[in-house]
Amino acid sequence: MPPPAHFKNAFAVLTSNPLSTSDVLVVGAGPVGLTMACELARHGVRPRIIDRLKQPSPYCRAIGVTTRTLEVWEDMGIAREMIDAGIWIEGSRTFVVGQIVDTRFDLSDLPFANLGLPQNDTERVLTRHLASLGVEIERGVTLESLTQTDGEVETVLARGPDEKEEARFRYVIGCDGAHSAVRRALGISFEGSPIPAEFMLGDVHIDWTTPRGMVMRIFRPGPNGMPDFLVAVPLPEIGRYRVSILSPPELAAPAEGTGHGIQSERPAPGIAPLQAAVDRLLPEKAVLSDLRWSSIFRISMRLASKYRQGNVFIAGDAAHIHPPTGGQGMNTGIQDAYNLGWKLALVLNGVGRETILDSYEAERHPVGKDVVDRTSRAIPKNSREDEDRLTDTQVLISYRGSPWIENSPNGAQPVGPAAGDRAPDCQGLRRTGVGFPFRLFDVLRGAEHVLVVYCTDSDPDPELADLAAFGTELQLADALRFAAIVKSAAKATKLPPVPFYEDAGSDFEKTYGSGQTAMLVRPDGYLSWRGDSWRESELRRQLERIFRL
Ligand SMILES: Cc1cc2nc3c(=O)[nH]c(=O)nc-3n(C[C@H](O)[C@H](O)[C@H](O)COP(=O)(O)OP(=O)(O)OC[C@H]3O[C@@H](n4cnc5c(N)ncnc54)[C@H](O)[C@@H]3O)c2cc1C
C-alpha cells in the first residue's frame, strides 16, 4: 500500500519498506513507558518502544517508591532487584520555626515499606527486565507526528533530520512525559498552572547528624506563601542525598517559562547555593561536598482532560504533572501502565472485549485528578499531617466508582475489600505437598484473572468439583485461573480438580471475612467482582463484559 498523500514530499529520506501494521507503539522509555512495554510483553504482546534520547537521562528525579509500586514490581518479578539497589526510607526529620519533629513511618502491616531508589536505577532495572522479555528500546528515535484513520494510527518516527520512518500501529501509548508530543497531536488539553518559582536540585554528600534513612525537611515561612526550604532525601550510597531548595534569585531565568521538570538546557548551578541554604536554615553545622550533578527545575500542576482518544492513550507525566510532594508522580504513572497493559493485551490477544479499554480512563483519570489536587494543596502549607498514614502508599486507591466494577447486589457490604478495591495480601496459606506457606499474592501472581473462592464447608470437595465443571464450560484456560481457599483441608482428601490452599493461619478469614465468598481478581490485583458465591449470575455477566465468551 503506498504511503498516504500527506506523508509524501515531507522528508528527505523515507524508509522504503511498505507500511505494515504492528500492534503497539510505546512512545517514551521513562519509568512509565518501560513499565508499559514490560507489561505488554509479559502479557504476550511485543511492543515497539522508542525514546528520543540516545542515552538514558543522567538525572535522578523520583526517589520515593510506594508500597503499591513495590507490589506491582513483585508481580512483575523485579521487586528483589529494586529493593537490593535501594534504601528504606524510615521516616522524616522536620525543622519548622525552631522545632524538630522526628516521624517514623510504620508500615509493618503492609507487604512493603517506603523504598528510596534513584529513578535512573529504576529505569536501569526496568530496561534490563524488558530486554529479558525480548524487547529492546529503540533509542534516538522521536515521534514526530501521528494521525488516526480507520482504527489505525499512522506515525512518523525520526532517527535524525534525514531519516524518517512511517509506521502504522493498532495502538499507540504516549508515555512521553510532561511535554508529550502524543498529547499535543491528539489536541488533548492540559489544564492547570505553573508554580511561580524555580527550584534547584543537587546530588551531594552531606556530613551531619541526621540518622541514615531519614528524609530531612527544613522550612521557614516566606513571603507570598512560598517558604524558604531544604529537603534532603537519602540515596542508597552512605552519606549521599538528593537535595532540593528554592532557587536563589541570582540563578533565575531571564524570562519566566511555564515548563515542567529538569531544565537541562540551563547552566548547572554549583554547590554554593545548596551550602548557603543549609547554613541559613539548619541550626547545626552540616558540610556539603562532592556535588555529582545539579540542575534547576520547575513545577506545574496540570491534568489532561482525557487519557484516550480512539486508539491512542496517554499515561504518566503525559497525563498528569504536579509537585513532587509525597513522591507520587512516577508511582502514579507506573500504575497507569499497570492498569492499561493487561487490558490492551487481552484485546490484542483476541480474548478480551475492546470495550474494556474504556475502563482505563474511567479508573485512572480520577486517580490523576486526586494526586494533582492533593499535592498542589500540600505546597503552601508544607504539611500532609491531615492525611491518612496510608494515603501516600497508594494501597488505598480504589476503582469502586468505576462502571467496570461489579459488587454482587445479593450480598451486603462484604467484610474487607469490596469490588473495585485492591486485593490485600494475606499469609499462611498451606498447600498439600508443599513444605512452606504461601501468601495470597503468590496465588494471584501472573498474567491471568483469578477466581478466588473461599469455601467454609467442612467438606469442600463437592463444591470444588462443581467449580471445575464451571471452568471447563467457560473455556478461558489461558485467561482465567481458579483458586480455592478452604477453611480447613481436613475433608479435602482427594486430589481436587481445582488448586486449593488451606487458610491455616486464618489470615484470609481475618482479611476477607469468615463467610463464604468468591471474588474475581484482575491481573492488576484489583477486585473486578465480589459476591457470596461464584454461582451468582452477576459473576457470569461480569465475565461476559470482559471476555469474548
Ligand atoms: C525533583 C523531582 C522529584 C521527584 N520525585 C518523585 C518521587 O520521589 N516519586 C515519584 O513517584 N515521582 C517523583 N517525581 C516525578 C517523576 O520524576 C515523574 O513523574 C516521572 O519521571 C514520569 O515518568 P514518565 O515515564 O511519565 O515521563 P518521563 O520520565 O519524563 O519520560 C518520558 C520519556 O519520553 C521521551 N520522549 C519525550 N518525547 C518524545 C518523543 N516525541 N519521541 C520519543 N520519545 C520521547 C523522553 O526522552 C523521556 O525519556 C519527581 C520529579 C521531580 C522533578
With a CB cutoff of 8 Å and minimum separation 6, the contacts of 305 are: 188, 189, 190, 191
Of all protein residues, the one whose alpha carbon is nearest to atom 16 of ligand 1 is 330
What is residue 105's DSSP assignment?
-
User: In a 3-state reduction of DSSP, which class is residue 183?
Assistant: helix
In a domain, 496, yes or no: yes
Q: Which residues line ligand 1 (CB under 6 A)?
A: 27-33, 50-53, 61-64, 119, 142-143, 175-177, 181, 201, 244, 261, 297, 316-317, 324, 327-331, 333
Of all protein residues, the one whose alpha carbon is nearest to atom 44 of ligand 1 is 51
Query: Cα separation of 213 and 95, whole Å?
Result: 17
pLDDT for 523 equals 98
Shared domain for 206 and 169, answered yes or no, is no
Pairing relationship of beta strands 214-220 and 91-96 according to DSSP bridges? parallel
Given the C-alpha cell 492533593, which residue does it identify?
A: 374
Helices (H), 231-357: 272-281, 329-348
Residues of the chain with pLDDT under 70: 1-21, 224-225, 253-258, 378-387, 408-412, 489-495
Query: Cα separation of 250 and 127, whole Å?
Result: 39
What are residue 210's phi and psi, to 5 degrees? Answer: -60, 130
- Last-in-domain residue among 281, 301, 321: 301
- Last-in-domain residue among 266, 301, 336: 301
Q: How far is the CA of 190 from the centre of ligand 1 (A)?
A: 16
pLDDT for 258 equals 52
C-alpha cell read off for 336: 497507569
- Last-in-domain residue among 379, 397, 429: 379
For 392, other C-beta atoms within 10 Å of its C-beta total 23
pLDDT for 380 equals 45
Which candidate, 508, 492, 423, 495, places its Cα nearest to that of 71? 423
Shared domain for 452 and 492, answered yes or no, is yes
Q: How far is the CA of 335 from the centre of ligand 1 (A)?
A: 14
What is residue 7's DSSP assignment?
G
Shared domain for 182 and 80, answered yes or no, is yes
Cβ(529)–Cβ(519) below 8 Å: yes
Shared domain for 272 and 217, answered yes or no, is yes
In a domain, 488, yes or no: yes
Query: Cα separation of 531 and 384, whole Å?
Result: 36
Shared domain for 311 and 279, answered yes or no, is no
Shared domain for 307 and 183, answered yes or no, is yes
pLDDT for 412 equals 62
Q: What's the structural domain count of the chain?
A: 3
In a domain, 96, yes or no: no
Shared domain for 23 and 163, answered yes or no, is yes
The CATH number assigned to the domain holding 321 equals: 3.50.50.60
Shared domain for 24 and 173, answered yes or no, is yes
C-alpha cell read off for 208: 551531619
User: In a 3-state reduction of DSSP, which class is residue 228?
Assistant: strand
Domain that holds residue 511: 406-546
Shared domain for 42 and 53, answered yes or no, is yes
Cβ(173)–Cβ(314) below 8 Å: yes
Shared domain for 149 and 197, answered yes or no, is no
In a domain, 232, yes or no: yes
pTM (two decimals): 0.93
In a domain, 127, yes or no: yes
Query: Cα separation of 144 and 35, whole Å?
Result: 22
In a domain, 397, yes or no: no
Shared domain for 285 and 369, answered yes or no, is no
In a domain, 27, yes or no: yes
In angstroms and rounded to an integer, the radius of gyration of the C-alpha atoms of the chain is 25
pLDDT for 268 equals 81
Residue among 53, 73, 119 whose CB has most ligand 1 atoms within 8 A, to mutate: 119
C-alpha cell read off for 121: 536505577
The CATH number assigned to the domain holding 209 equals: 3.30.70.2450
Shared domain for 210 and 340, answered yes or no, is no
In a domain, 109, yes or no: no
The CATH number assigned to the domain holding 511 equals: 3.40.30.10
